[in-house]
Structure 1
Amino acid sequence: MTIGARYGELFQMSYITRDLDAAMDHCREHLGITEFHTTDAEMELMSFGQMRPLKVRAAMANVGRNQFEIIQPVAGAIEIYTDEVDLDAHILNYHHIAIAVRGGIDNWLALLAEVRASGDEFAYLFPAEPGPDDKLCFCYVDTRKRLGHYTEYLWVDEGIKPIPAMPDLDA
């Protein structure tokens, strides 16, 4: 599969905010998006080749087979969320799209090989060394030079679905 062919599995638009609660209120009032799943996430991930901590607050709203995500960077490897983004200019700041990687872990490993062959850098990679026991994997690829934004890829093991982090792509 080619990177471009994967756009058929596009499922998410993601925005960055300085205040998650205010951003959700904005979405309720101005967009009519009312049902959010929120999470406070802390993890160790590979960020531009180095293992680093990351702490974010996030809200996801599934609308049909699509998802509206808002991320508030908190601490750690948050530069990809804060560099080149004026968090004071708007309550919501466009940041990235997400593409689902369906199938088994072998499909995830194939995607990683495609990204490496593309010459784009992994801004984030979690887990850093994916294996057969992993149930959720994601990466942010620095596609800004070619596309003007980051591209996230997300793989979720079928055994743990449904989860708020992934809408029903067959809806």
Structure 2
Amino acid sequence: MITGRHYQNAYVTRNVDKAVAEFKQNAEIRKLIEIEVPVQLWTPQGEGKGVQKLAFVWVEDLQFELIQPGEGDVLALYRDALPADDRLVFHHICHLVDDWDAFMAKVDTEKFPMVLRGGTPGMLEFAYFDARQWLGHYLEYCWMVPDRWAGMGGR
């Protein structure tokens, strides 16, 4: 399933600060948000909390999400993709959907397994699907209220 509006390319790294510095040198950044946040996540192996250092780099209408996974067993999806060095490695794309409940109602018929889910109900929700055999990467879908979208730099 590919649905919604593609707005993000995401990468994992061992050094998000270095990656941000490289974006500042090589891109015309419209908006930059840097955070380190604990998140409650669901995986097929169970639920848990993970800490990630994140940077959201907007170049025109494309967001580059830079992910430095930290503590938490639920972050294996990111950690398993890390290179041995500090470079960026492509991980997934994200599509924004308009109606989260309608989207999630179709998940049971999805041929790609859901491998991660999280967010804050009623504010921002996301889910990852493993499409690596088809596309070579994960597919993420998210939904957020308009104020959160605007705060994240969306337009």
Structure 2 length as normaliser, TM-score? Answer: 0.87
Unaligned residue ranges in structure 1 (runs of 5+): none
Q: Which of 125, 129, 135 does residue 137 from structure 1 map onto?
A: 125
Which is strand-richer, 1 or 2? 2
Q: Which of 12, 25, 31 does residue 27 from structure 2 map onto?
A: 31
Q: How does 1:19-168 map to 2 (within 5 A)?
A: 19-33=15-29, 35-76=31-72, 77-88=74-85, 91-102=87-98, 107-127=99-119, 134-164=122-152, 167-168=154-155
- In 1, the alpha carbon distance for the partners of 2:26 and 2:65 equals 15
Alignment-mate amino acid for residue 153 of structure 1: Y
With over 3 angstroms needed to count, the CA separation of the structure-2 counterparts of 1:31 and 1:65, relative to structure 1, is closer
Q: Which segment is superposed worse, 93-102 or 118-127?
A: 118-127
- In 2, the alpha carbon distance for the partners of 1:87 and 1:108 equals 36
The 8 Å contact of residues 30 and 59 in structure 2, kept in 1 or not, is answered as no
**SS in structure 1 of the partner of residue 106 of structure 2:** helix
The 8 Å contact of residues 42 and 116 in structure 2, kept in 1 or not, is answered as yes
Unaligned residue ranges in structure 2 (runs of 5+): none
Q: CA deviation at 1:21?
A: 0.7
Alignment-mate amino acid for residue 117 of structure 1: T
The 8 Å contact of residues 66 and 167 in structure 1, kept in 2 or not, is answered as no
- In 1, the alpha carbon distance for the partners of 2:87 and 2:111 equals 33
* Regions of 4+ moved over 4 Å: none
Structure 1 length as normaliser, TM-score? Answer: 0.80
Q: CA deviation at 1:19?
A: 0.7
Q: CA deviation at 1:30?
A: 3.1
Q: What is the identity percentage for the equivalent residue pairs of Structure 1 and Structure 2?
A: 27
With over 3 angstroms needed to count, the CA separation of the structure-2 counterparts of 1:39 and 1:16, relative to structure 1, is same
- The answer to whether residue 10 in structure 2 is matched with residue 14 in structure 1 is yes
Q: CA deviation at 1:159?
A: 4.6
With over 3 angstroms needed to count, the CA separation of the structure-2 counterparts of 1:161 and 1:83, relative to structure 1, is closer
- In 2, the alpha carbon distance for the partners of 1:72 and 1:32 equals 22
- CA RMSD in angstroms comes to 2.1
Q: Deviations over 1:116-143 (max 9, x none)?
A: 2113222211259x5xxx1111111111
Alignment-mate amino acid for residue 62 of structure 2: N
